[in-house]
Amino acid sequence: MSHKIIYNTQWAKENVSMPDLLSYFGHEPVRTAKQGSEYWYVSPFRYEKAASFHTSYLGGKWIWNDFGRGDVQGSGTVIGFLEMHENVDVSGALKILKELFPHKGRAVSTESLRRMPLFKNLSISEKKESNDPIADKLVIREIKDQIWDKALIGYLAGERKINHRLAVKYLKHIQYENIETGKIYNTLGFENESGDFECRDKFFKGIIKNPNAVDRAPAKDISYIPGTEKGRVAVFEGFMDYLTVLTIKNQPVLPVDVIILNMVNMRRRGIDFIKQGDYEQVFTFFDNDSAGEKTAQMFLEEPELKEKVEPQNHLYKGFKDYNQFWQQKEL
């Protein structure tokens, strides 16, 4: 007899924890209390320095509140969080949760399911294996301001076609260790607003925690680079696209302010950061894929931004991103 899991709002309430969900989107707690049943975070919904987002396990379920918003939005549940964070409805939130947590919950037999009446938000899925994150196994041993490693320069200038003389202003040579294997590696690091490093090389893409940070996991965050003029801002998904624009323009810095999301799930933080600035134009350079289109749509639908947003993805039409376009153009 085969068994399935019923994925509905009741399943979400009973089986999905807010800390697990927040961790998937790159949000890690600033502090915990009550033996791990209460957590404080920097808000996932806006840019801030002090933690105002709170979640706790109460009454048999995880609830949350964002005390810094100044209003009441969302239902305070995992479903309500996804509705706001990912701009989806209940059905869309359940689809995301099913993909993230396919192994959570109590399975029932398919024979029993056939006897059950249909009801709203019911879906069925086979159990899938999940991947364990490795970020906590990677430890920085040395940070170098100059990039002399031939393999890293070859990756940056040869494979990515980036002018490394312009790029070194923004990148660090990171030497890190996988403490599980004891092996040492070299990578390129781009610092985010939390002080951690978004890392790239030919074989690795991920985030590594700043060695000065203690008692927390690596923090996903946006990066901010001030420009030489005011009133305009450019938003990129990743730093390679930003470095591509510098290479094309042969400039060490852009006249506009720059925000790099470093992860599309940081789009809400990026939007709220922009709303705090006095910008008249917002240029977006998002990928030509479903995630990039969704991110662009969120910017265009934001009431305070929609008249200011000017998507630039037509510049690399037919390619996933600006860097891929540049690599092919240089051939």
pLDDT in tens, 215-271: 777 888 899 999 988 899 999 999 999 999 999 999 999 999 999 999 888 888 899
Structure tokens at 182: 């004891």
Comparison of pLDDT for 9 and 102, the residue scoring more: 9
Look at residue 254 in the predicted model and tell me its pLDDT. Answer: 94
Q: State yes or no: pLDDT of 307 exceeds 70.
A: yes
Mean pLDDT of the chain: 83
Look at residue 108 in the predicted model and tell me its pLDDT. Answer: 43
Beta bridge mates, 107: 5
Q: Is the dihedral of CA 320, 325, 327, 331 positive or negative?
A: positive
Own/partner long-range contacts of 298-304 (Cβ < 8 Å, ≥24 apart): 298/87, 298/267, 298/268, 298/271, 299/235, 299/267, 299/271, 301/87, 302/271, 302/275, 304/275
Domain spans of the chain?
3-125, 135-208, 223-329
223-329: in CATH 3.40.1360.10: yes
Instruction: Report the range of poorest mean pLDDT among 11-25, 67-81, 156-170.
Output: 67-81
Comparison of pLDDT for 136 and 310, the residue scoring more: 310
Q: State yes or no: pLDDT of 122 exceeds 70.
A: no
Question: Average pLDDT in the 127-147 region?
Answer: 68
Q: What's the CA gap between 303 and 300, in Å, rounded?
A: 8
Look at residue 58 in the predicted model and tell me its pLDDT. Answer: 78
Which of 53-62, 124-133, 175-184, 264-273 has the highest average model confidence (pLDDT)? 175-184
Beta bridge mates, 33: 38
Look at residue 155 in the predicted model and tell me its pLDDT. Answer: 94
Distance of CA 82 to the CA centre of its chain: 14
Instruction: Report the range of poorest mean pLDDT among 5-9, 17-21, 303-307.
Output: 5-9
Q: State yes or no: pLDDT of 314 exceeds 80.
A: yes
Question: Average pLDDT in the 167-182 region?
Answer: 92
Which class does domain 3-125 fall in? alpha beta
Query: How confident is residue 325, by pLDDT bands cut at 50, 70 and 90?
Result: very high
Closest CA to 187 of 245, 147, 225: 147
**Cβ-based neighbour number of residue 14 at 10 Å:** 12
Comparison of pLDDT for 21 and 48, the residue scoring more: 21
Q: State yes or no: pLDDT of 280 exceeds 90.
A: yes
Q: State yes or no: pLDDT of 273 exceeds 80.
A: yes
Q: What is the pTM (predicted TM-score) of this model?
A: 0.66
Amino acid identity for residue 314 in this structure = H
Q: What's the CA gap between 57 and 2, in Å, rounded?
A: 33
Q: What's the CA gap between 217 and 305, in Å, rounded?
A: 32
Q: State yes or no: pLDDT of 36 exceeds 90.
A: no
